[in-house]
Amino acid sequence: GENVEQHPSTLSVQEGDSAVIKCTYSDSASNYFPWYKQELGKRPQLIIDIRSNVGEKKDQRIAVTLNKTAKHFSLHITETQPEDSAVYFCAANTGNQFYFGTGTSLTVIP
């Protein structure tokens, strides 16, 4: 089955700096890659997603890039703010089910 690996597991940045989280996947059939943000005690919330026919997608301070050849995708957050502090999960969908990374705990230091 699919295997999604996510790095780093923890990340601390100064407010205003950029944060990058990377995920790799193993199944070339994966065609949909969402990113979720989960604040403490809350449900995961979709923040951005990308499909395999697109290489990059941007939404304000958040962007996702996808390299199908290398089977990896990344989340980029620019101009980080304290409210960006949360756990971020990547996921890959093979057409049958979602496989999630183990999460990155992002801390933005004011």
Instruction: Rank residues 77 and 92 by Cβ distance to other proteins and give the closer one.
Output: 92
The least CB distance from residue 32 to other proteins, in Å, is 4
Which residues of the shown chain bind other proteins in the complex (CB under 8 A)? Answer: 31-32, 34, 36, 42-46, 49, 51, 89, 91, 93, 95-103
Residues 49, 35: contact at Cβ < 8 Å? yes
The least CB distance from residue 38 to other proteins, in Å, is 9
| CB half-sphere exposure, 34, CA atoms < 13 A | 12
CA 47/CA 3 separation, integer angstroms: 22
